Structure 1
Amino acid sequence: MKMERILTMVLALFLLFGGVAIAQQATSEASKTTSAERTMQEETKAERAPETQEMNFHTETIALPATPLPKKKEIKKARFSGMDAGQGRLENGTARIEFTGVMSAAIADGASPIITVTPLGNCNGLYISNINQKGFTVVENNEGHSSIEFSWIAVAKSPNKLE
C-alpha cells in the first residue's frame, strides 16, 4: 500500500508539471479495476467539477486541478523513497544482494541507503561492504567462512528536489 502511495505521488507530479500524456499512459497500463469499481468510479466522476483531471492507480482514484495550483498551494518539496528487504545466504563468508528497480531508482536519485543485516545462524558477525546502485555485499567478520542465512532491509530517501 505504501508503494502505491509513492507511485501515485510520482504520477501526480507528472500531471502537475506537464507530463499528462506520460502519466495517463502509465496509469492506463497500471490500472486494473473490476466492473463494480468502474461503476463506483463513474458515479464519483459525475459528482466532480468538470475542470478536474482524473488519475487512476490500481484501485485508488485522486482528482487533480486541470489548472496550475495557486502560489500558496505549490509543492515545496518532493522526495522519492525506496525500501527493499529480503533474505540471503552467505557462501564461504560472503554474499551479494541485488536491489529491486524502485530501490535502485532511489539510490540513482542521490539517496544514501541505510542497510541492516541480521544473521539467522551462528557466525562471527556480519558487515556490509561495496554498496552501489545495484546492490551490496555482506561479509562475515574476522575473515569467516560461514554458510548461513541472513535477513536484510534497506531504506533510501532521495534529497529534496523542489525548493
Structure 2
Amino acid sequence: MSMPSPAPVESPSSTMPTMAVLFGTTLVALGLFAYMAPELIGSGKEVMNNGQVVVDANEQVVREAPAPHSPTSLAPAAIGAVILLVGIVSIAAPNARKHAMHLGAMAGLLGTLGGLVPVMLRHNDIAEAAVRVGWMMTLASLFFLALCINSFVQARVAKNAPVA
C-alpha cells in the first residue's frame, strides 16, 4: 500500500505576484482615500499666527482642515499602481517575473522612503492626516519590501540546492 504524496508546497516566488497585487491594491486604495476624504484620516496643519501656534479657549491647538484633492496625497496610489502592475505582469508573463519583482522591490523601497517624507517634514505630528498616511505607506511598503527580499533569498537557496 503506497502513501499518498504530499500536496505540493508553493514556493515563495510563486506567491509573490499575488502579494504584489494585494499590497498594490491596498496602497492604491490608501492614496485614493487620502485624496478624496483626508478629514476622515486626521486633521490638517496647526494654525500659526506670527510664528505662534494658535490655541483656542479650551487650550486646544487650532488646526485647519486637511486639504482635499491634494496631488501629494496620491503618492501611495502611485507606488501602489506600480506594485499592482508588477504583480499583474508577473502573473501574466511568468518568464518576466524576476525582472518584474525586482521592479516591485524597488517600488517598495521608494514607498518606504517616500512615506517618511511627510512624517519628517511635519515633525511626526501624528494628528495630521499626511503623517498618518505617510506612516501607513511606509509600513505597508516596508512589509512588502521584506517579503520581496525573503522571496529573493528563498529563490537563491532553491536554485543552489542539490537536486535529489
Q: TM-score range by the shorter chain?
A: under 0.3
| Higher helix proportion | 2
